[in-house]
Structure 1
Amino acid sequence: MKTTVPLILASKSPRRQRLLREAGFEFEVIVRPVEEQVVGHLTPREVALRIAEDKARAYSDLSQNHLIITADTIVVLDEHILGKPSHAAEATRMLQQLSGRSHEVISAVCLYHQNHLHSFSERTEVCFRELEAEEIQHYITHYRPFDKAGAYGIQEWIGMVGISGIRGDYYNVMGLPLAGLYRELKSFPKGVVLQV
């Protein structure tokens, strides 16, 4: 798939890059450092949207001739955001909290072209069965989920054997809600036309 304006995926996430490529999009990856600041008075959805939009604004110099895609994915348990764990003990604690419970995964995506920001979000409910301590340790030791919100990747071993149910977009949990992105690109203003 192509757009009439060149696409830039502003994400170092290999999962987002793979998903966009597998969906057939032609794009370039450009990554710039952006500090992700969480503002306390916002809802989790608003936090994800704010971060995705802040990431997009870092590419204002490229937005005149390109369509910039940024995203942010958060895991929410009991209205608390579980970020990316910085070490094994934190990853263990997060997976223990998620064990036997349902949580939300919210991905926000921002499309940025010619100083026009358009953002949307998707929500998916994920339920883990009760995880054994040995399973958690095996996963952390072998998969090192320190770059993943909530300390897990649904497409990895812990997702394959530990998730008992999901309601919503599977790809949203991986970090890029492809059906929503396709829908939003089809209706995006400012002369960006999606060609299938």
Structure 2
Amino acid sequence: MLHLASQSPRRRQLLEQIGVDFVALDVDVAEQRASGESPQAYVSRVARDKARAGLASLGSMQDAFVLGADTEVVLDDEVFGKPQNADDAAAMLRRLSGRTHAVISVVWLVSAVREQSVECVSQVRFATLDEPTIAAYVATGEPFGKAGAYAIQGRGAVLVEHLQGSYSGVMGLPVFETARLLHDLATPSK
């Protein structure tokens, strides 16, 4: 039985899109980057912590597999989490304006006897944004709850000038990599 350690509607939608049956779990994991921790290590650790917390919440279910994922926007080695308020969202968008940033997605699949992960890094270039564009986008409310203060699958798509990598990875769950991870799970170990 597969469990998804996330309440993200985007992650649920992407798993459903590829025909995966799962049960969603609500987990609470601290998302604080440690001093000296690289962005990749941070994203991987948070995704793994989510998967492990989900597994722990299931107790004695020996046949359980838990998928945990994290996605973050990174610019100049700074991890842009979810904005705290409208000013924070606008500040993030100003920093991303006219620049290319990385979107790192890591997915961990854990069970009582096995742990495996995949990583996907995409490069996203934003158009140059003027203040009225930033203010109008923030006013939609869409930036809230989104790493980097934008949703590529929503109105935020008009901010993106170029994408190199995985569209679904930028949304929060790289579908190709996740499907391969789940396929490897179904393939017996040698």
Fold shared by both chains (TM-score > 0.5): yes
Residues 1-57 of structure 1, C-alpha deviation per residue, up to 9 Å, x if partnerless?
Answer: xxxxx1111111111111111111111111122222311222111110011111112
CA distance in 2, matches of 1:21, 1:125: 25
Aligned-pair distance for 1:189? 7.1
By how many angstroms is 1:143 displaced? Answer: 3.0
Which string of whole-angstrom CA distances, capped at 9 and with x for unpartnered residues, describes residues 128-177 of structure 1? 11012111111111134220110001011122x22110000110000000
2:5 partner letter: A
Residue in 2 aligned with 1:3? none
The CA distance in 2 between the partners of 1:50 and 1:99, in whole Å, is: 28
1:162 aligns with 159
| Residue of 26, 29, 42 corresponding to 2:24 | 29
Contact 2:25–2:54 (CA<8 Å) still a contact in 1?
no
Measured in 2, the distance between the counterparts of 1:190 and 1:53 equals: 21
| Gap regions ≥5 residues in structure 2 | none
For residues 36 and 122 of structure 2, the distance between their equivalents in structure 1, rounded to whole angstroms, comes to 22
Cα pair 1:60 1:115 within 8 Å, conserved: no
Q: Distance in 2 between matches of 1:142 and 1:176?
A: 24
RMSD (Å), alpha carbons: 1.7
- How far does residue 190 in structure 1 lie from its aligned partner after superposition? 8.2
Superposition pairs for residues 1-196 of structure 1, below 5 Å? 6-61=1-56, 62=58, 64-159=62-157, 161-188=158-185
Normalised by the length of structure 2, the TM-score is: 0.92
Q: Secondary structure at the match of 1:59?
A: helix
Bigger mean CA deviation after superposition, 52-61 or 22-31 = 52-61
* Distance of aligned partners of 1:191 and 1:28 in 2 relative to their CA distance in 1, 3 Å threshold: farther
Measure, in 2, the Cα distance between the counterparts of 1:17 and 1:8: 11
